[in-house]
Structure formats: C-alpha cells, structure tokens
Amino acid sequence: MISSDFSLETFFDLTPDLVCVAGYDGYFKKINPAVSHVLEYSLEELYSRPIDDFIYPEDRPITQTKREDLKERKPLINFENRYVSKSGKIIWLSWTSWPIPDQQVVFAIAKEVTSRKNQENNREAMLTALSEKNEELKRLTYVTAHDLRTPVSSILMVFNLLDFNKIQDPETLELVQLIQRSTLGLKDSLNKYLHLIAEKESSNFDLELLNFSEVYSQVVSTIQPLISSTGTEIVSDFSKAPELHYNRLYLGSIFLNLISNAIKYSRPDIQSRIKIKTFKSEGKTILTIQDNGEGMDMEYVKGKLFGMNQTFHQHADSKGIGLYLIYNHIKSVGGSIEVESEIGMGSTFTITF
C-alpha cells in the first residue's frame, strides 16, 4: 500500500512534467515547480500575469482558438505551442488539457519537446537546402547538355562539308571517320540526357528490353579512338545473359564510365585488357567488367569509392564523378555494385541488376 505520507500534493510537486490549473479568465490558478523551472519565472510572476504574456507572440492566436474549444467542453490532446522563458529562450510545449466547466478551470499537463522540434526544424531546413541543391544541379545538367549540342552540331557540319573522296591516305580517312562517329555518338548521348531530364520532370522513367551487345557496341563506337590509341584489348561475352530490362541511357553510362576508367588507369608496362561478361545467378542478371590496370587499395578507398569528387589516383583527368554516377544509376532501380581490386593487379566490378 502507498504510505499516507505520500500525498497527491507531493506527486504534483515532484513530477517533471509541467502541471497546471488555468482559469477561464486566462490566468494560472495553480502550477507545479516544473513550470517555474522551465519558464524561469518565479511563481509570483507566473500567477500575476496573463498566460498569454508567456506565449510566443505568433502562437497566441492559435492558442486562443484552442482555449475557446476547451470552454466548449472539447479536450485538447497533444497541442504544441511555443513559450518564451525569462532569459528569452524559445520553449516548445506539448499540452494535454481537460476543461472543468462547473469550476471554470482547465487541468493541463505539458511535456517540453524543444529538442525534438529543433531536430525536426533542422531536418526540414536540410531537406529544403538539399532540394534547392538538387534543383540547381538539375538546371546545370540541363544547360550543359543543351548548350553542348551547338558546338557538337557545328563539328558535324564540318564533316558534312568534307569530301572524303579527296582523302587519299587510308589511315587519315579512318581517323577522320572515327572522329565523326564519336561526335555523332556524343550528340546522341546529349539528346538522351535531355530526354532523361524531361522524363524525370514528369516522373516517368523508361525501362525497356535492351540487348547488352547492342548498347555495348554503341558505346565502344564513341570511344574507339581512345581504345585504338591505347592499344586496349576488350573481350566481351553476353551469351549467358544477352538481354535486360533497364534504362538505355543508364546502361550506356555504366559501360562508358567503367570501360574508360579501365583504360585511363591501365598500367603502362603491359597491354591493357578488359573482360566483360554477363550471366544469371539466382534469377538476377550479373554484369562483370574486369581489367588488369593499376588497381586500388580497397582498405583505403572503403566507404569512399562511390562518393562525389573522390579520386584515388594522380591521373590529370580524374574528377571523381564517373563512379558516383554509376553507383546512383544502379541504386536508383534497386541494383547493387561490388568491387574487388588490388594494387597492381587490376579491378573487377560486379553489377547485380
């Protein structure tokens, strides 16, 4: 049994929640020490002034509306408003209140929720800033893709003016044709990027049945000068999983970035070789791209490899964007990517779609 020495008054005084009795006239009638402790006013100050004096000015109208509801015998559950402490701090309180009409008073209990509200406000601010940054990046991507089409189109016009029959040297003719195909591939990619941005705007993301070999061949044709100039050997085998439901632009970007990275970070002392294959495992389509390049220290790059602007080699052309794009392409449709690598022994990227 509870000791008779333990009275309700003791409970009222010791509870950490803010407990009060407020009159219909807008003044505190009885409050526990927690109210004085949180608001930093003395009991005399709290009793002598209208409750509205302690409420944050912007919250007074909604608080008055809720007070009128209480007078209409409507209990108040989890109503949150702000008070201002004597030192000027903003205090968030969550109220649960019951009217006692025949006594013209309201019994109320409040919990301080300032910390939670601050966290919510910080999160909202971060989400707003992130949304603004995403919009800025989207606009930049659109402008870049759009504006690059003009010089690309100008280059293609030059090719249209060329009379290929006048080029007598076979190697020169082959080189010019390679540049022409690469430029056409660049124009096609820019158009696809613009189309993808438009799809994102309309929340429409196209997945289609793709042939690995076809997408791979299109990518290789655009970077053939790079492949030829470096003497890179690429062996591909898509026979075990020839097709995939996926976004064409994303799959092309995966091929483009991983193949160009493999060439970029090849070892100068041996011929660069890249092996690409697809297969099925547990009902999922797997793509692996293996190279014999410089490789990476996986302990060092752990957790950072797919981050924005992360570079791990001293290559002048390293920007730390390619792997970031690949990672987000794959994650956006529920896939995964894993890497095995060792310094001097090359890298293997395994993508599960």
pLDDT at 1: 38
Domain that holds residue 267: 205-352
The verdict on residue 200 lying in a domain is: no
pLDDT at 53: 95
The verdict on residue 180 lying in a domain is: no
pLDDT at 23: 94
Tell me the pLDDT tens digit for each residue of 40-99.
999 999 999 999 999 999 999 999 999 999 999 888 899 999 999 999 999 999 999 999
Tell me the pLDDT tens digit for each residue of 295-344.
888 887 776 777 655 555 555 444 456 677 788 778 877 888 888 888 88
The verdict on residue 187 lying in a domain is: no
Task: Please count the structural domains in the chain.
Answer: 2
4 token code pair:
């008779």
pLDDT at 223: 81
Tell me the pLDDT tens digit for each residue of 180-200.
777 777 777 777 666 666 555
Q: Find the length of the chain.
A: 353
- Domain final residue, candidates 95, 112, 129: 112
Q: What is the mean pLDDT of residues 248-264?
A: 87
Is residue 258 pLDDT above 70, yes or no?
A: yes
What CATH number is attached to the domain comprising 252?
3.30.565.10
The verdict on residue 283 lying in a domain is: yes
Tell me the pLDDT tens digit for each residue of 99-125.
999 999 999 999 999 988 888 888 888
Is residue 2 pLDDT above 50, yes or no?
A: no
The verdict on residue 331 lying in a domain is: yes
Comparing 128 with 199, which gets the higher pLDDT? 128
Is residue 290 pLDDT above 80, yes or no?
A: yes
Same domain, 337 and 211: yes
The verdict on residue 220 lying in a domain is: yes
- Domain final residue, candidates 112, 141, 168: 112
The verdict on residue 52 lying in a domain is: yes
The verdict on residue 2 lying in a domain is: no
Same domain, 210 and 346: yes
Comparing 342 with 201, which gets the higher pLDDT? 342
pLDDT at 344: 87
Tell me the pLDDT tens digit for each residue of 129-173.
777 777 666 666 655 665 566 567 667 777 777 777 888 888 888
pLDDT at 316: 46
What CATH number is attached to the domain comprising 25?
3.30.450.20
> In whole angstroms, how far apart are CA 85 and each of 36, 41, 48, 201, 320?
9, 7, 16, 46, 50
- Domain final residue, candidates 76, 96, 112: 112
Same domain, 212 and 107: no
pLDDT at 200: 57
Tell me the pLDDT tens digit for each residue of 211-235.
999 999 988 887 887 788 888 999 9
Q: What is the pTM of this model?
A: 0.48
Long-range contacts of 80-87 (CB under 8 A, 24+ apart): 80/113, 80/117, 81/55, 81/56, 82/55, 82/56, 82/58, 83/39, 83/54, 83/55, 83/56, 84/54, 84/55, 84/56, 85/38, 85/39, 85/40, 85/41, 86/39, 86/40, 86/41, 86/45, 87/40
Q: What is the mean pLDDT of residues 18-26?
A: 93
Is residue 262 pLDDT above 70, yes or no?
A: yes
pLDDT at 296: 84
